[in-house]
Amino acid sequence: MTALADIREGLRFDPATTTAFEACRMAQLDLALEDPRIVSVEADLGDCWGLKFRESLPDRFLDFGIAEASAVGAAAGLAMAGKRPFLNTFGTFALMRAAEQVRLDICYHRAPVVIAGMFTGIAAGFSGPTHHAIEDVSVARALPNLTVIAPADALQAYDATRAALEHNAPVYLRLGVEPGPQVYAGHDRFEIGRGRVLREGGSLTIVTCGVTIVPEVLAAADRLGDVRVVDMPTIKPIDRELLRQSAERTGRVVTVEEHSTIGGLGSAVAEVLAEDAPVPLRMIGLPDAFVKEIGDYAEQLRRHGLDAAGIEREVRAWAY
């Protein structure tokens, strides 16, 4: 095995160029060096993003190939036998193709498996609807015992990965594969179930989550002016108190997400506001339709109004 110091040297990363998924994988290796129970369960991704895990800990690196249901079942069994598996695969394949196994093998038994889903949202724009994960949050939110986290940048992804292990219960990490602008200045202890105010304002609140979208929302908010921006990285359980406070403070709420407007962050926020603080709500996200157009990620975001200009346009049309 590579010397411990050499392995840790490889964990250094530039938040401006490292993707959330890479940061998550770095955190997995860091944790594995501290905890011999940790194993990496793969679904044909090791050659692309294995980083140093397979090289450094080959006896704890299990690649099942393109057999996500089998990988999920194996991860659940390992967890119930005392191991702490991280399951690395595409978000849509984990929550759609292997939904039954996630539901019954992991969630039903409350097996402490951390599902690290990559290419979420429309990041895999060049691969078409088979690889888009635009319904994964709605599926994950409906599964009992499953915590759902969508970090805003690589730093938060690293910290959220550590928190997911400490949670000792099923967790779905929704991760991006494109390097995005850095939202947070440095590492911090990630608190599951807590949102964060990134920008103060009084005219309305924008609640958002996820790599790419949070920076776009912040850029749109700078153009809009007196707007409060809330990063809500934990979609389930959601920070009800922060939502209530924000709604009462600003009187209007907008949600922005790289997900269908059915069942995702917007729906989670709407459920809270309906019970705790009824205010006007506008949900911005992907439509109730397959994204059939082929194009790179930036083009897809522009097409669906999820870049800063599109978000600003939608908010102005609704609120001003």
Which of 140, 174, 208 delimits the end of a domain?
174
Residue 6 has pLDDT above 90, yes or no: no
Instruction: Please tell me whether residues 159 and 256 are part of one structural domain.
Output: no
Check residue 9 and give its pLDDT: 54
Tokens of 149: 């986290």
Measured CA to CA, the distance from residue 168 to residue 10 in angstroms comes to 27
Give the mean pLDDT of 53-65.
Answer: 90
| Mean pLDDT, rounded, of the chain | 92
CATH number at residue 161: 3.40.50.970
| Mean pLDDT along residues 300-320 | 95
| Whether 60 and 167 share a structural domain | yes
Q: Read off the pLDDT of residues 224-279 as tens digits, 9 standing for 90 and up.
A: 999 999 999 999 999 999 999 999 999 999 999 999 999 999 999 999 999 999 99
pTM of the model: 0.94
| Burial per residue of 124-137, b for 16 or more beta-carbon CB atoms within 10 angstroms, e otherwise | bbeeeeebbbbbbb
Q: Is residue 184 part of a domain?
A: no
Q: Which long-range contacts (CB under 8 A, 24 or more apart) does 156-160 make?
A: 156/20, 156/183, 156/184, 156/190, 156/233, 157/20, 157/21, 157/23, 157/24, 157/27, 157/211, 158/23, 158/24, 158/26, 158/27, 158/187, 159/27, 159/187, 159/188, 159/189, 159/190, 160/24, 160/190, 160/233
Q: Are residues 23 and 151 in the same domain?
A: yes
**Three-state SS string across 196-229, please?**
EEEECCCCEEEEECCCCHHHHHHHHHHHHCCEEE
Domain of 209 in residue numbering reads as 196-319
Q: What percent of the chain has pLDDT over 90?
A: 75
Residue 291 included in any domain: yes
- What pLDDT does residue 111 have? 98
- The domain that holds 266 is classified in CATH as 3.40.50.920
Query: pLDDT, tens digit, for every residue of 104-139?
Result: 999 999 999 999 999 898 887 677 788 888 999 999
Q: Does some domain include residue 179? A: no
Assess if residue 297 is contained within a domain.
Answer: yes
- Which of these ranges, 19-23, 49-53, 59-63, has the smallest mean pLDDT? 49-53
**Residues 68, 148: one domain?**
yes
Residue 180 has pLDDT above 70, yes or no: yes
**Residues 132 and 212 reside in one and the same domain:** no
Name the band, by pLDDT with cuts 50, 70 and 90, for residue 4: very low
Q: Is residue 28 part of a domain?
A: yes
Do residue 37 and residue 167 come from a single domain?
yes
CA 313 to chain centre: 25
Count of domains forming the chain: 2
User: How many CB atoms are located within 10 Å of the residue 188 CB?
Assistant: 11
CA 292 to chain centre: 23
